[in-house]
Amino acid sequence: YYRGDNPGGFCPQSQNSLLLENNQVMRRVKVLVSGRVQGVYFRLFTQNKAKHFAVRGSVRNLPDGRVEIIAEAEHVTIEKFIKWCHKGPVTARVDHVEIIELQADEILTGFEIK
């Protein structure tokens, strides 16, 4: 796709991204957060932060004690959201964050706690 701010003007588009009409590349990721992240309102804080950043997706507790977040937004926004996930809310202790790129084949709406 074409980007005027890139020398040469063209940038490769990841197969895991969705190019919108306004040339914003959407990125969808699965974020797996481990540490003290259950029973500390991590999902609620995550939903609030997602709404703040206009990130769409969902968050849920996993049986193994981790929290799983599916998040979709413009690339720069996702980076900011992932940075927050590494810290989490003050009530939590984040030990490890794993990021898995997902296929962005459709646009998600809203951000829900599952």
Active site (catalytic) residues: 43, 61
> Are residues 3 and 68 in contact, defined by beta-carbon separation less than 8 angstroms?
no
User: Element (H or E) spanning 99, and its range?
Assistant: strand 93-102
Q: Which two tokens stand for residue 48?
A: 């609030």
Three-class secondary structure of residue 108 per DSSP: coil
